[in-house]
Amino acid sequence: MGSPPPADRRGPTAEEHAAHLVAHHRVRDERPIRVVFLAYDPPTWNTTLPLSRHLLGDRRFEATIVSLPHSYGSQGVLGPGFHGEEAMHRLLDRFSLPHLRVHESRIAEALPLIRDLRPHYIFRQRPWPRDLPPELHAEHLSFARLCYVPYSYLAAGLEQAPFGAASR
């Protein structure tokens, strides 16, 4: 019988496990897996930060972060419309994370930019369609697999149509 593993041996981190799952389908393909992180909600970026850092440093991936304006609907503290890219940019800079910027005045350029990156996977920070402009709702991002890293437990009674499904 073999000896038990050392007591201090830990399994893979959550980030390593997620990277393995994403990379699994491309085992025989040497080209990197292209991943885009849509970064638009500074308060919840801490849940995406470990995975984004891991994929940026993993040679199996070509990860790109895109900072975007967002909205919390007409009830948002910033009022109606899309705002906050500057705050997201500053946060990403503080973490020394390279990123592409899409300013509020250039939001129409976001979808073409993301398409040009040719991602296999797109990570959103929040599942709600109203957070991003209609051009970035799920039906316009169907050229890639959409992913979401939960930032909290979702309570019953919240919006029933995540990722842009018809919610009227």
Lowest mean pLDDT among 17-21, 112-116, 121-125: 17-21
Query: Cα–Cα distance between 50 and 56 in angstroms, integer?
Result: 10
Comparing 96 with 150, the larger pLDDT belongs to: 96
What CA dihedral angle connects 128, 38, 83 and 142, to 10 degrees? -60
Percentage above 70 pLDDT, the chain: 66
pLDDT of residue 156: 43
pLDDT of residue 23: 62
Which of 8-17, 126-135, 149-158 reaches the highest mean pLDDT? 126-135
pLDDT of residue 81: 59
CA distances, 166 to each of 4, 31, 34, 72, 87 (Å): 53, 35, 28, 18, 30
Average of per-residue pLDDT values in the chain: 78
DSSP three-state, residue 110: helix
pLDDT tens digits for 65-98?
Answer: 999 988 765 444 444 556 678 889 999 999 999 9
Lowest mean pLDDT among 58-67, 79-88, 148-157, 159-168: 159-168
CB 67 within 8 A of CB 99: yes
Residue 39: band (very low, low, confident or very high) from pLDDT cuts 50, 70, 90: very high
Say what the pTM is: 0.74
Residues with Cβ within 8 Å of 79's Cβ and at least 6 positions away in sequence, in order, are none
pLDDT of residue 76: 46
pLDDT tens digits for 95-117?
Answer: 999 999 998 888 889 999 999 99
Given a cut of 60, is residue 139 above it in pLDDT?
Answer: yes
Query: Cα–Cα distance between 78 and 57 in angstroms, integer?
Result: 35
